[in-house]
Chain A
Amino acid sequence: MHIKEFITTIPVKKVTLRDIVSFEKTPINLLIAVMTLLFLVLFAVGITTYILHGHHAYNVTKEHPWGLLIAVYIFFVVSSTGLCIVGSLGDVFGFKDYMMISKRAIFGSIITIVSGFAVIAFEIGHPITMVIYNILTPGFTSAIWWMGTLYGLYMTFMIIEFVFLLKHNMKMAKIFGLTGLLVGLAAHSNLGGVFGFLNARTISNGVFYPMYFILTAFITGIFLSFIMYGFKYRLKFDEKATLLLTNLAKIQGLLIAILMFFVTWKMLSDVYGGMPNRAEVARHIFSSATFWAEVFFAMVIPLFIILKSAGKNIVGMFWGSLIGMVGIFFMRYNLVHDTQLKPLQMLKTSEYQLVPTWIEYFPSVTEVMISLGGLGLCLFLYYMGTKLFNLDE
């Protein structure tokens, strides 16, 4: 079959502009619609400001070179990997109960990575140069090279898998799904490696992040599944969805428990290991509100909801997942920010007013606008997806 022919046989619903603007005008739908539009406008304003002023529009500095946009990029690609894992449960691993969510989750994994790329494109100074020299002079020792290249491949596989899912070609979907999943996991652990390789930053250095990223991706994927299904069913789940979500909630309980165990040990070994630049940073992290936001929103509250009802309170878990995603955002933000908390103190103790205190960073308005824009883009693409494709079995 020719590519062209193949493409024309992809089942896409015909939508007119009227279809797009026609949705049930409930207050919550209207709110989301207005929010999405607002975010997209902010995106445009943010990008324009960036194009006019470059990195000066951001609050990143020599001391704190990675800011909010990196965190948001990570937030999106973690979401993507997570949805890919959830989507794979059914169509790659053949768990029957999870079949129904595959298509929606895989679609979600595509749009989240697209949104992530859309954000990072305005953080990297020269994205076009990147595409060219990633190929011409690849830096094989660079975790960023692997991460970027593998994510590019991953996205391609996810799109192909999605197309086969749409066409109900389960065999091919499985092949591309499995390849995509493996490449995605490799990409994602490499993203952890981007931090893990930083010898200069002992708080991040080591093998912890590559593994932690996979675990938290799975958790994020499950949160997002609850959110997507919660909206789809307007919280009135049918039997099949109830079964699926209860199962997912149980897995989630286990995963969050493991995560807490991981984080506890990381913090314990950071503090009591007594390593310079590590112990004090860890102690400082304990005193930051964003760390506790991460712990309570992404771990304690969702786990409490799950444990209290043995995973059966799926309406509660929908709300728990919304809170959980806020926690996941803080988790990403903290990871990026905490890595850079400690000045490198290169013999310039009092030079250039660089007092050796903790490095401060607060995102600029432009950074916030572009970040919200990424969210707007994601919501918009998801909405379009529900119009264009049949995302259920």
Chain B
Amino acid sequence: MRLNDAVFGLIFIALGLTMILIASGFPAFPGQPYGAALLPTLLGGGFIICGGLLCLRGWRVRAGGMAMADPALKEPGTLVSMALVVVLILAYILFSDPVGYVPFMAVALTLLLLRFGNRPLPALAVALLTTVVSQWFFGRILLVPLPRGILEGLF
């Protein structure tokens, strides 16, 4: 999705102003003219100046429209597939702890693979294999405490 540069310019200006505002509350370094607030303030200034230039640039090409979607994005199916990738990560953040790594990934990955147009049997096989291999490698060999969830105590 392409947005007009001016949109980004405005976002960066807002970001710069916020940074300067928050940074003004940082305590000064005793006996020094420069402290914790220096870099954030400079960066905030940089965001405002560059954001302004970007706005100027966007304004010049405003005839091109404020937003333009990639042709691939116009297909509704593609958009859903992309959103599903994000939803899968969000769901992991929210539910992996109660559900557990293995059951969560096995189900989520199967669904994603099916959605991407794989046939059911290969999708299930790849999902199970990936889940088991990643659990074995990260959970067993590298000792990462992957959440066990509902399988607590089983293995």
A pairs with B? no
Using a CB–CB distance below 8 Å, which chain A residues touch chain B? none
